[in-house]
Structure 1
């Protein structure tokens, strides 16, 4: 009787252990990706801000930036961040990974302050505490979501239409706006595309993890190139049009919020319910407040 009971319970225990390991890999990878991206954004903005306004939204902007070693260093860090985030999404859900990945400046600001021989201000410390506390509150009550298969091509279509339409409206409005508003419009469009990119990255990572190189037979890996390239151009145009104090708060809030919404709508990932949902909403608001404070720090504006 005892041996049989142990035999019956062993698979469940093994599966639970595998789930814990996968979650640990997802969390650590998401935090590492956040650190890399935060520093990469600051480096890219430092290079892009010196480009002439006439090159905004033009592919030539990327061509000219590619001749600047500082920008290439930022792109290398961003590429590393994207790869690490792909690992996180292969082992964890969008609702788990993206709130953690949005804490980029929580890691970057202390490094930048140390490099410049400065101390973090009380406002920056407060922003860091709000961000960390808000993300922790959001994830503490997050229910476990079993792995869900990515939708078929027709399942992606409504999402692609909605985001494509919103991006078109934002870019059109940005073209008719002055510098600061233009930076905000382009950043909002980039944040939406990055949220879509995160969802496609998860789909492609799942395909690669289960099918290996056969994943290249699907459309998702190639869509990553188009969406990623467009988002990169919009982000660089936003950096060129204004300071990070304008662009990063929008990108850092719209990307994780959009990715979480896509995770629940497209991948059937779950948020909390009843009182725990209120905790998640308050945690998200606290984290957004902290991110806004950090993104307005003089360390990233100059």
Structure 2
């Protein structure tokens, strides 16, 4: 039952995030560029109904993601939650009244099939205890370092590269956000309101706001064809890496299963790239 809840909730999270991202992107592209990387960007966007609807869907996505992570490991949940392009592209096609092309359909098949293969051979380890503060230090250091190094690069880069750089920063921040979501959900599940006595809920809020500013800045700077594939590829990779390092999760352990898993991951990434190159996402 736990795995069923985790899988279904992760897919619902992907649906909400994919459609919500399209709505946020449409609004963010109309905001003034000087507001990028500032909280002022969020205050501006908050006056736009379409963006608020997109954020509402993102909140639903977060709720489903928290439920999924309370019942399953990061290595199971995040690859499923990262399939949002499977839902964003058909939503864009319906809004623009255009049929999906053969390349787009191939991308959908590769993404869905690759994720399915990756998860088929994934070992599901028994539930472990929540990590201590010192277990988080390497992950926190890497994420802070990446953002601190790349944000100045993005500020002085041309639009397409700026979009990619901001998307990388958003992806690693969201990977940390996903991991903190799992830890926070675990706290509330086992300790109820006493979870508020721990640091994770407050770090979750700070990292979440930072990730929101970075992702909206990426959406504002350029097309979804650049930002979403980067986020959809690096966020699950980062979250799975944190799952391995911080939560002691496992990937496949034998040679052939690891090979199958890596082939599945490569196929899924190929599908995401194909979807990202869709004319629907390049507006």
Bin of the TM-score, shorter chain as denominator length:
over 0.9
The alpha carbon displacement at 1:175 in A equals 1.5
Q: Provide, for residues 218-248 of structure 1, a one-character-per-residue CA deviation record: whole Å limited to 9, x for no partner.
A: 1101111110100110111111111111111
2:129 counterpart SS class: coil
1:288 to 259, 265, 269: 269
In the alignment, is the contact (CA less than 8 A) between 1:40 and 1:78 conserved in 2? yes
Which aligned pairs between 1:7-46 and structure 2 lie closer than 5 A?
21-46=1-26
Equivalent residues, number: 282
User: Residues 167 and 114 (structure 1 numbering): CA distance in 2 closer, same or farther, change over 3 Å?
Assistant: same
Instruction: Supply the distance in 1 between the matched residues of 2:176 and 2:126 (Cα, whole angstroms).
Output: 21
In the alignment, is the contact (CA less than 8 A) between 2:18 and 2:87 conserved in 1? yes
Residue 260 of structure 1 corresponds to which residue in structure 2?
240
Instruction: Supply the distance in 1 between the matched residues of 2:18 and 2:246 (Cα, whole angstroms).
Output: 28
The alpha carbon displacement at 1:149 in A equals 1.8
Residue 201 of structure 2 corresponds to which residue in structure 1?
221
Residue 51 of structure 2 corresponds to which residue in structure 1?
71
Structure whose CA Rg is larger? 1
Q: Provide, for residues 30-78 of structure 1, a one-character-per-residue CA deviation record: whole Å limited to 9, x for no partner.
A: 0010010000111100000011211111111110010111110100000
Instruction: Supply the distance in 1 between the matched residues of 2:17 and 2:193 (Cα, whole angstroms).
Output: 27
Moved over 4 A (4+): none
Residue 58 of structure 1 corresponds to which residue in structure 2?
38
1:199 to 166, 169, 179: 179
In the alignment, is the contact (CA less than 8 A) between 1:188 and 1:250 conserved in 2? yes
In the alignment, is the contact (CA less than 8 A) between 2:22 and 2:92 conserved in 1? no
Q: Provide, for residues 141-161 of structure 1, a one-character-per-residue CA deviation record: whole Å limited to 9, x for no partner.
A: 111211112211111112111
Instruction: Supply the distance in 1 between the matched residues of 2:91 and 2:221 (Cα, whole angstroms).
Output: 25
Instruction: Supply the distance in 2 between the matched residues of 1:42 and 1:209 (Cα, whole angstroms).
Output: 32
Give me the TM-score of the superposition, normalised by structure 1.
0.91
Instruction: Supply the distance in 2 between the matched residues of 1:161 and 1:32 (Cα, whole angstroms).
Output: 31
In the alignment, is the contact (CA less than 8 A) between 2:35 and 2:41 conserved in 1? yes
Residue 117 of structure 1 corresponds to which residue in structure 2?
97
Q: Provide, for residues 82-123 of structure 1, a one-character-per-residue CA deviation record: whole Å limited to 9, x for no partner.
A: 110100000000000000001012123223323433211000
Instruction: Supply the distance in 2 between the matched residues of 1:117 and 1:202 (Cα, whole angstroms).
Output: 38
Instruction: Supply the distance in 2 between the matched residues of 1:117 and 1:247 (Cα, whole angstroms).
Output: 23
2:131 counterpart SS class: coil
Runs of 5+ unmatched residues, structure 2: none
Runs of 5+ unmatched residues, structure 1: 1-20
Give me the TM-score of the superposition, normalised by structure 2.
0.97
1:127 to 95, 103, 107: 107
